[in-house]
Amino acid sequence: MDPSEMRLNAPRVPDPADAPALRWGILGPGWIADELTTSLRRTKQEVVAVGSRSSERASAFAARHGIDPAHAHGSYEALVADDLVDVVYVATPHSEHHEHALLAIAAGRHVLVEKAFTATAAQARAVVDAARAADVFCMEAMWTRFLPHVDVIRDALERGVLGEVLAVHADHGQNLWPVGPRRLADPRLAGGALLDLGIYPLSFAHLVLGELELRSVDGELTPEGVDEWVVATLAAAGSPGSRPRLAHVSTSMGVRTPTTASVCGTWARLDVDGDFYAPSQVRLVGNDGMVLGAWGRAAGTDHGGLRYQAAELARRVTAGEKESPLMPLDDSIHLMELMDAIRARL
């Protein structure tokens, strides 16, 4: 490659503020729903309704976000039946995503399902089949894939800036156990590090390498029987030639890790600051260690980036499309299959 081409280009991501407006209903008024709703205020999107099993929680959420009290529903069924709603954001725990996504789809609503998409691959296939049969838009809320710095990575890969990509390293660890949300320790609520945190490095590896095959797994279970930490090695499916393309991913809910990512090629690598899954900085580093270029800002968790996935959904729905090429439904199924296989080995 010409040395002048060894650079990082600016992202090609459209401004979320320019996406056509849809009317959103929030299913499950928890922390992540607060973050998305706050982020949507920076766009044309409208949050018009909320549903909870608790009328009090729905009313409190509506009051915080300026939603008409008449559209603060004390049941999920009432939310999905609200004709003001175009799209339902499923923000309940993973253990309930399957049931609640199907509920919204049956009501004819488009759906954005918080990651991890479901608790199992079988549930993921059921949701995808239902959405396709109902002819509604459906997408996993893997917000990382829609962020500007990830498009910088995607562009560099498309232009072959790194040479032959042979390795991906990504980790995500948070100090959330044993002190933290109780759902993370509860097998009945699909607890554990992998579904909540490990989905990020796994999805990143898939973004870079495509379909993956599981090679090895190590980890440790909590006394409650969910995964506290996981380390997995995967290979790109059908890797050509004799040089396998490998991904090394790790996750923990017991310690705070650097939460960084790297994409390594024969000419250069990309390093993504922690937290790599949030708006962050990407550096292009040559084999001699010299930084050849950088894009982005200092690392940090800025949930304002959630608006990018919402804007993607709004553009696709307005265009009459039923899924996003940036987070295809088959990708979500494949990732759930990998997480099933990892947990089975543990």
Catalytic positions are 115
Residue 6: burial class (beta carbons within 10 Å; 0-12, 13-18, 19+): middle
The DSSP result for 261-312, as a single string, is EEEEESSEEEEEPSSTTSS--EEEEETTS-EEEEES-S----GGGHHHHHHH
Bridge partners for 227 per DSSP: 221
Any residues with CB less than 8 A from the CB of 195 and at least 6 apart, and which? 94, 116, 119, 339
Q: Is the distance from CB of 228 to CB of 222 less than 8 angstroms? A: yes
Residue with tokens 């898939």: 206
Alpha-carbon distances of 324 from 4, 42, 241, 319, 320, rounded to whole Å:
33, 22, 31, 11, 11
- Strands 227-236 and 246-252, sheet pairing: antiparallel
